[in-house]
Amino acid sequence: MLKLLLLSISLSFAFLSSAMAGPFDDIKTYNRDDYSCEITQCDVLASHFNDPERITDSVTQDDMDKPAAIKACLEAVANDPQLDLKSELTDLVELDGASPIEISGVQMILIKNGEIAFEHAAGAARRLENVAIPLTNDHKVRIASISKFVLTAAFMTLVEEGKVDLDADVSDYLGFTLRNPNFPDKIITTRQVVSHTSSIRDGAYYFMGSSENFQDFFIPGGNSDRSAQHYDNGNHFANGANQGPGGYFTYSNLNFGILSGIAEKVSGQRMDTFVKERLLDKLGLSSSFSVCTLYPNNFESLATLYRRGDGGETWDTDGPWVEQVDGDPIRCYYESESYSRGETPDLLPLDNYKLGQNPTLFSPQGGLRASSRDLAVIMQMLLNAGMHNGEQVLTTSSISEMMKTVWQYDSNLNNGHTGGETAEGDKTAEGMMTAYGLSTHIVDLKDWGLFTESRILYGHLGSAYGLQGQFWVDPIKKDGIITFITGVGDDPGKAKATIPLYAIEEVLLKLSLKGLDTL
């Protein structure tokens, strides 16, 4: 879009007459505020728009009066890959038909050879009655299942210290015996939990309020009025012939309630505090699983996720953008009080929390609030062998362990469901997940038809409440991709994709790969 616009503008200068009133009358559409440019001549031209008297030693007024000079500047801008990519991202939000579905906002950061090579955000962080607050790369959002990767990175510090054995029975850490009643003789290990091969299933739901007991998901006959509801007739356990612990992959959010419970019991800290002190503080990040700790300045660092209509169940593409999470008011954790953005949340009830009783409270499977810049810091630490500002945050062995393949799909064995969170037998996302490490989605882009030679990415996807997120690392090239869509106007599954992602995710992945190849 930008290239076509600038090309049409620049071509018009071939026909400028000597009688034109001024050299800038016909190029007002070149907006220097929107597109950063390092070209000195373009900087001078842009400055001249706002201050016609400003002339530098390097470019004279006579130079600036020459249409050829302006044409050269515009062509240089049109060929700048940074500006081109920024324009394409902005068009996805602002230009009708540019995106497979309407989106509320987008963040993107690209890392090349370990360094940030590109960043841009477009759209709205919040949509108020009379104004939209522009989205930036510093706005934090609920990053959905990318949270699993971050939680596991923090958890690996317990493994480094010898406090957790990935291949030991999780019962040794949880404080109760966890067995799949359909496979009672098989232990469940932490490695199985974080690779989704534990035989644990989500059932009707996988979270509960602060007063509930996490064991009720797995052990019948609890004391709560809701114990039977939580147990869900044993639907939190697989019962297929080949689906016992260790053999079969099914993506399950409840696994991360288990991981959170282990972290709490072993570390003696609530999960959100554990991740903060073990990882986030060391990286200088204010990201948080406890959203209400972000309340200063009326939660100004926190962006809202949107859908048109109710989203998820009913959509209304002609209706208003509806707040899905982190709007106003904000709920601090499951079944907590809600607080307006102008209130200071009361977190004192958490003082009574008993470690390990309900480790799903802060959504370990998806509740981390982080910005794309926050995730870029985490990604750069991973690409820098676990180092940040001279401190070893994670060992290289922990990073390697996370990225090592634990499960690989084998069609002959039919040893897993490759469609992510779609129901067993649903073919719509078939092939999305065919290899997995420790909370690490492993994909060879050759298998998705994006390259003719192998190019493997490691990371995680995130999808919830209107967010569509991608976090991908290429440790060979030391490249990385971080993208967030912060709201969708329709069911993202409606538009046709050519790879096992939503069409809008495919667009952003391809734009990211193109950017890494051209920047």
- Residue 382 and residue 475 share a domain: yes
Q: Is 217 part of any domain?
A: yes
Task: Please identify, among 79, 98, 113, the residue that sits at the C-terminal boundary of a domain.
Answer: 79
CATH code at position 447: 3.40.710.10
The pLDDT value given to residue 426: 85
Segment (H or E) for 481:
strand 479-485
| CA gap 31, 51 in Å, rounded | 14
Q: Is 245 part of any domain?
A: yes
- Residue 171 and residue 68 share a domain: no
- Residue 40 and residue 164 share a domain: no
| CA gap 455, 442 in Å, rounded | 11
Q: How many domains does the chain have?
A: 2
The CA-atom distances, in angstroms, between 103 and each of 49, 122, 375, 398, 492 are 33, 10, 21, 37, 10
What is the CB neighbour count within 10 angstroms for residue 429? 18
Asked if 429 and 417 touch (Cβ cutoff 8 Å), the reply is: no
Task: Please identify, among 53, 79, 105, the residue that sits at the C-terminal boundary of a domain.
Answer: 79
> Where would I find the H helices in 54-100?
61-64, 67-78, 81-94
- Residue 47 and residue 166 share a domain: no
SS3 call for 223: coil
Handedness of CA 52, 55, 58, 61 (dihedral sign): positive
Taking phi over 0 as left and psi of -120 to 50 as alpha, with beta for the rest, 421 belongs to alpha
- Spell out where 59-160 has E strands: 105-112, 115-127, 132-134, 141-142
- Residue 351 and residue 203 share a domain: yes
Domain extent, residue 19, equals: 2-79
| CA gap 62, 45 in Å, rounded | 12
- Residue 274 and residue 149 share a domain: yes
- Residue 389 and residue 494 share a domain: yes
| CA gap 417, 249 in Å, rounded | 6
The pair of three-digit structure tokens given for residue 96, joined into one six-digit string = 């009708």
The pair of three-digit structure tokens given for residue 261, joined into one six-digit string = 């419970």
Task: Please identify, among 79, 99, 114, the residue that sits at the C-terminal boundary of a domain.
Answer: 79
- Residue 33 and residue 173 share a domain: no
The pLDDT value given to residue 69: 54
Asked if 167 and 191 touch (Cβ cutoff 8 Å), the reply is: yes
- Residue 153 and residue 68 share a domain: no
- Residue 300 and residue 164 share a domain: yes
Count helices and strands in the chain by DSSP H and E runs: 15, 18
Q: Is 489 part of any domain?
A: yes
- Residue 148 and residue 51 share a domain: no
Q: Is 331 part of any domain?
A: no
What phi, psi does 43 have (nearest 5°)?
-60, -45
Q: Packing angle between helix 146-160 and helix 372-383, nearest 10 degrees?
A: 40
* DSSP calls for 191-205: HHHHTT-S-B--TT-
- Residue 357 and residue 247 share a domain: yes
Q: Is 360 part of any domain?
A: yes
What pairs with residue 481 in β-bridges? 110, 472
Q: Please count the CA atoms within 13 angstroms of the CA of 16 that sit on its side-chain side.
A: 22
Tens-digit pLDDT string for the chain (519 aa)? 544 444 443 433 333 333 333 333 333 333 333 333 333 444 444 444 444 444 444 445 555 555 555 556 556 555 678 878 999 999 999 999 999 999 999 999 999 999 999 999 999 999 999 999 999 999 999 999 999 999 999 999 999 999 999 999 999 999 999 999 999 999 999 999 999 999 999 999 999 998 999 999 999 999 999 999 999 999 999 999 899 999 899 999 999 999 999 999 999 999 999 999 999 999 999 999 999 999 999 999 999 999 999 877 799 999 999 999 999 999 999 999 999 999 999 999 999 999 999 999 999 999 999 999 999 999 999 999 999 999 999 999 999 999 999 999 999 999 999 999 998 888 889 999 999 999 999 999 999 999 999 999 999 999 999 999 999 999 999 999 999 999 999 999 999 999 999 999 999 999 999 999 999
Segment (H or E) for 468:
strand 467-474
The CA-atom distances, in angstroms, between 122 and each of 102, 424, 505 are 13, 36, 16
- For the entire predicted model, the pTM comes to 0.88
34-68 burial code (b ≥16 CB/10 A, e <16): ebebeeebbbbbbebeeeeeebeeebeeebbeebe
Q: Is 353 part of any domain?
A: yes
Q: Is 9 part of any domain?
A: yes
The pLDDT value given to residue 103: 98
* DSSP calls for 432-456: S-SEE-SS-EEEETTTTTS-SS--E
Q: Is 166 part of any domain?
A: yes
